[in-house]
Structure 1
Amino acid sequence: MSDAKTATKDDGLIRCDACPVLCRIRTGRSGACDRYANVDGVLTRVDPLVVLENAEKQVPFTETSGQWNGDLVPKGHTFVTGVGSGTTYPDYKPAPFIVGATADGVDTVTVVSEGVFSYCGVKVKIDTDRYVGPETAAVYADGEQVGHVTTAEYGSQMLSLGGVRHLTGGSKKEGRVTCDTLLALCNKHAVDLEVEGGAKITVQAGKPPIIDGDEEERMRVGCGSATIGIFAPQWHGKVDEVIVVDDHITGVLTEHQAGQFLEMPVSGIKVRGRRSTPGRYFQVAEHGAGWGGTDITNPLDIIDKVDPKKARPGMTLLMVSTTGQDSAYFVLDEELKPVPASMPDEIKLVVDRIAENCEPALCTVLFMAGAGGSLRAGVTENPVRLTRSVKEALTRVTCGGAPAYIWPGGGITVIVDVMAMPENSFGYVPTPALVAPIEFSMSREDFEALGGHMDSIIPISDVLTRDGLVKIAGN
């Protein structure tokens, strides 16, 4: 157990002041969040304080004395994370741990805390070409809307979940379900979601997505046009035409600039859809779970016509998806109709190479939150100085020791990959809000310059002697 907090006692109960709920806790019991308990009349943080050892990839310090060589934290150093540290609520007091340490001769300070975040959410990247639902469609968990589908990216579908409006702006159940969903995702557990007008999805950080009961294996090597560009030389001289079926950009080899560069004669096989540039076609079919993220199960359905002035009997045609999972080989008969045929080994080799170049399909969960007044007040009495120090790269922000990206613009808006954080880094309070670790690291000189709580600095050696400490290997 980490440090005890002060609490108000009343008839054997103690009142927890770690969040606005102000639970009244009996001896031997914990509060609503399961993070603080009444231990023999003392309010105590239940979860252990997590310390990273050999965290050479975790927290960079700013060079001030000329002694630091610009490397990340060297091997052999320890780093106190915010996991299990406790919060600064009710905001006016210093952070639970303000740790002084020396890194390669540089005096550093790391302000360690757990933030209570109502203004938070997750961005979920789902590696798949499969259609999950229309853009802006509502995403539901346990019957409650917890977010929406956002813009698709290259080979991935994206979800935006959480946010203050779902946590606090709707019904009590919506807030509770949203909080439960975010907590599970951030702690790397599986969550079942349903997209309005779309798919049922099981999402878990670092695991393949399960879409309508099917586990995805791989994400595409590129769009149909990119696939043509990559593999055109390997098809040249072995097949007369290649069509790469794709929900976004379907590629036609002999029309494509890659085929023209190789001086391949145009086959005369025309596909449906809207022609963008030579050999690149949009909207060849509807979205779906078929070939290349379309609703196509028979690839010949996208062929509009065959030009007899350019095509000839015996011409060979390969149709393949952007992952190589779907492929078919045809030969044009006397009426110029594609007839299924056995795929030659030299063609199958390239199809297999498409698959080889596809990365495993995974779900990525990025936690995003605004670090507001309560966190900053735990560092300094003048919070804007901390904000400026972060923007000037004098102060580095981490979450559970993992590097956090800071959005440009006002405030301290962090985004971090939960896979880089220790297990079970996140908690919650029933307001509802998530509790997440956060650390601000800087030189002692810069900490003093921003008006930091100098009287609250404790040596890292003192922290490492506390009961209930958990040490884990850093990345």
Structure 2
Amino acid sequence: MTDAPEKIRCDACPVMCYIAPGQTGACDRYANAGGRIVRTDPVVMLSHTVESGGRIVPFAARDWDGAPVPADAFVTGIGSGTTYPDYKPAPFIIASQVDGADMVTVVTEAIFSYCGVKVKIDTDRFLGPEGAVVRVEGEPVGHVTTAEYGSQMISIGGVHHLTGGTKAEGRVTCAAMLALCNGEAVELAIDDGSTVLVQAGQAPIVDGVRERRMRVGCGSATIGMFAMQWQGLVDEVVVVDDHITGVVSEHQAGKVIGWPPTGIRIKGHRSTPGRYFRVSEPGQGWGGTRLTDPLEILGEWNPKKGARPGLRLLMVSTTGEQFAYYVLDDSLRPVPQDLPQDLKASVELIDENCESSLCTVLFVGGAGGSLRAGVAKNPVRLTRSVQAGATRLTSGGAETYIWPGGGITFMVDVTRLPKGAFGHVPTPALVAPLEFTLSRADYLAMGGHEENIRTLDQSVVEGGEYPTAARVEAWP
């Protein structure tokens, strides 16, 4: 009998897998190749001078032909390896010159237990009550948060879902976040609400129906934009909306242009003239309400305030998707009529002014932990430098937004990163690329790892802690 090939231990994350020859660890990011740990994905380098598709540059390979790397190449954290365990310097600390200034870029893949995904869904539909649990494969992974103008907002992930629940909850949460960050579609089921298929940069699919447009504004805003378009063509316009339903004859926009009163009465909570709240419960009908018949929100017409037989009424939603035209009969009851041709243009104008419905996915991570020790020996100085703007933090080469306050909490639009930029470890946690760029003087002042600074050419020849290759791509 021959002895089985010896497994070796990978220390690139807290799981510490024993990996057999020719196999990968639980994360699929590291493998045992001939008795040594290698990084399975290439380091991604971005260049303005390289066409999309790029090329492969061997890192630390004996057969490297010395082909020059583009002079403007920027080494990202994608595929670079991590600082874990965090007593060691980051995988790449690269010196460069920018407009004659000596700069340093510190590159690493950060392991995030403290991270989440914010999803903005452009739709007028009601997806679920605020605070409702959001599930994937039946497991709770997040919640519905406060709606914003024309969009529904969902928060996915966070340390409590990743590590504070069952193993299944943590596993599913991590998988859902990874898929969303890498541009894949994920089906979200909202308690007491809808099922939504979400994919960054794509239109949401709500209960099997692909959304086409987000609302042009609330009912009040719609009247402000289009009151002039309706004047002289119709006697009254009601823009039905879950949040603020507008009535043109009462609205300030109507008053300014001399719109006469009509004696209309709206069933709802009157806010200011021509603006009504809570005309209906939220839903997937007219303007994000439950209405299938908009006449439900109308009370009796008042002839003493302008109501009369023959009065023309247009009711329309904030997307122009739903519209109806009525004429009051002798009993002051609205009778449905075909929409006149001259009013069709105004409804089409609402539609034209609605932007395309998309899903936006932002990764949010807290980088204020021990990974900072891989950048500098005095980690708090890195935090202060990032907060002060002296250190520029990017993620896979993409610009980030840094939250004020303590720590390094950042957000990045996942569509701005190269494909496959995010990974995971089965602790469970996400792995995201980070690059800290600052002046060499500032880097040394914060206690940077001076002995590990290398030029780009040196980095290509010597590689990182684990053997890998580099893929050169066009800058997004």
Q: Distance in 1 between matches of 2:85 and 2:412?
A: 25
Find the partner of 1:232 among 227, 234, 246: 227
Q: Which residue of 2 aligns with 1:447?
A: 443
Q: Which residue of 2 aligns with 1:105?
A: 100
Q: Which residue of 1 aligns with 2:24?
A: 30
Q: Which residue of 2 aligns with 1:294?
A: 289
Q: Distance in 1 between matches of 2:326 and 2:299?
A: 16
Alignment deviations for residues 290-335 of structure 1 (CA, whole Å, 9 cap, x no partner): 0000000111111122112211111111110000111111111111
Give the conservation status (yes or no) of the 8 Å contact 1:331–1:338. yes
Give the conservation status (yes or no) of the 8 Å contact 1:116–1:434. yes
Q: Please, which runs of 5 or more residues in structure 1 have no aligned partner?
A: 1-9, 57-74
Instruction: Letter of the 1:384 partner, please give it.
Output: V
Matches within 5 A, 1:209-288: 209-288=204-283
Alignment deviations for residues 311-361 of structure 1 (CA, whole Å, 9 cap, x no partner): 111111111000011111111111111111122222111110111111101
Find the partner of 2:144 among 146, 149, 152: 149
Q: Distance in 2 between matches of 1:185 and 1:433?
A: 14
1:132 positional shift: 0.7
Alignment deviations for residues 193-248 of structure 1 (CA, whole Å, 9 cap, x no partner): 11111111111111111111111100001000000000011111111100000000
Please tell me whether residue 165 in structure 1 is matched to residue 143 in structure 2.
no
Q: Give SS of 2:299's match.
A: strand
Find the partner of 2:351 among 352, 355, 378: 355
Give TM-score, length-normalised by structure 2: 0.92
Q: Which residue of 2 aligns with 1:458?
A: 454
Q: Give SS of 2:213's match.
A: coil
Q: Distance in 1 between matches of 2:421 and 2:351?
A: 36
1:464 positional shift: 4.3
Please tell me whether residue 386 in structure 1 is matched to residue 382 in structure 2.
yes
Give the conservation status (yes or no) of the 8 Å contact 2:5–2:21. no
Instruction: Letter of the 2:136 partner, please give it.
Output: A
1:468 positional shift: 2.0
Q: Which residue of 1 aligns with 2:66?
A: none
Q: Which residue of 1 aligns with 2:111?
A: 116
Please tell me whether residue 365 in structure 1 is matched to residue 361 in structure 2.
yes
1:170 positional shift: 0.5
1:463 positional shift: 3.3
Please tell me whether residue 431 in structure 1 is matched to residue 432 in structure 2.
no
Q: Which residue of 1 aligns with 2:123?
A: 128
Q: Distance in 1 between matches of 2:349 and 2:135?
A: 38
Distance change (3 Å), C-alpha of 1:470 and 1:278: same
Instruction: Letter of the 1:33 partner, please give it.
Output: C
Give the conservation status (yes or no) of the 8 Å contact 1:109–1:447. yes
Alignment deviations for residues 156-204 of structure 1 (CA, whole Å, 9 cap, x no partner): 1111110000000011111000000100011110001111111111111
The percent identity for this pair of structures is 62
1:76 positional shift: 6.6
Q: Distance in 1 between matches of 2:276 and 2:438?
A: 52
Instruction: Letter of the 2:288 partner, please give it.
Output: G
Alignment deviations for residues 32-82 of structure 1 (CA, whole Å, 9 cap, x no partner): 0000000111100000100111199xxxxxxxxxxxxxxxxxx97221110
Please tell me whether residue 17 in structure 1 is matched to residue 11 in structure 2.
yes
Q: Distance in 2 between matches of 1:123 and 1:377?
A: 28
Instruction: Letter of the 1:315 partner, please give it.
Output: L
Give the conservation status (yes or no) of the 8 Å contact 1:55–1:79. no
More relative contact order, 1 or 2 (CA 8 Å, 6+ apart): 2
Q: Distance in 2 between matches of 1:351 and 1:79?
A: 49
Q: Which residue of 2 aligns with 1:473?
A: 474
Q: Which residue of 2 aligns with 1:201?
A: 196
Distance change (3 Å), C-alpha of 1:225 and 1:446: same
Q: Distance in 1 between matches of 2:297 and 2:417?
A: 46
Q: Distance in 2 between matches of 1:134 and 1:55?
A: 48
Find the partner of 1:42 among 36, 42, 46: 36
1:11 positional shift: 6.2
Matches within 5 A, 1:374-413: 374-413=370-409
Give the conservation status (yes or no) of the 8 Å contact 2:115–2:363. yes
Q: Distance in 2 between matches of 1:463 and 1:195?
A: 48
Q: Please, which runs of 5 or more residues in structure 2 have no aligned partner?
A: 51-69
Give the conservation status (yes or no) of the 8 Å contact 1:329–1:343. yes
Q: Distance in 2 between matches of 1:375 and 1:235?
A: 60
Find the partner of 2:325 among 323, 329, 347: 329
Please tell me whether residue 91 in structure 1 is matched to residue 92 in structure 2.
no
Q: Which residue of 2 aligns with 1:339?
A: 335
Q: Give SS of 1:277's match.
A: coil
Q: Distance in 2 between matches of 1:195 and 1:454?
A: 50
Alignment deviations for residues 252-271 of structure 1 (CA, whole Å, 9 cap, x no partner): 00000000001111111111
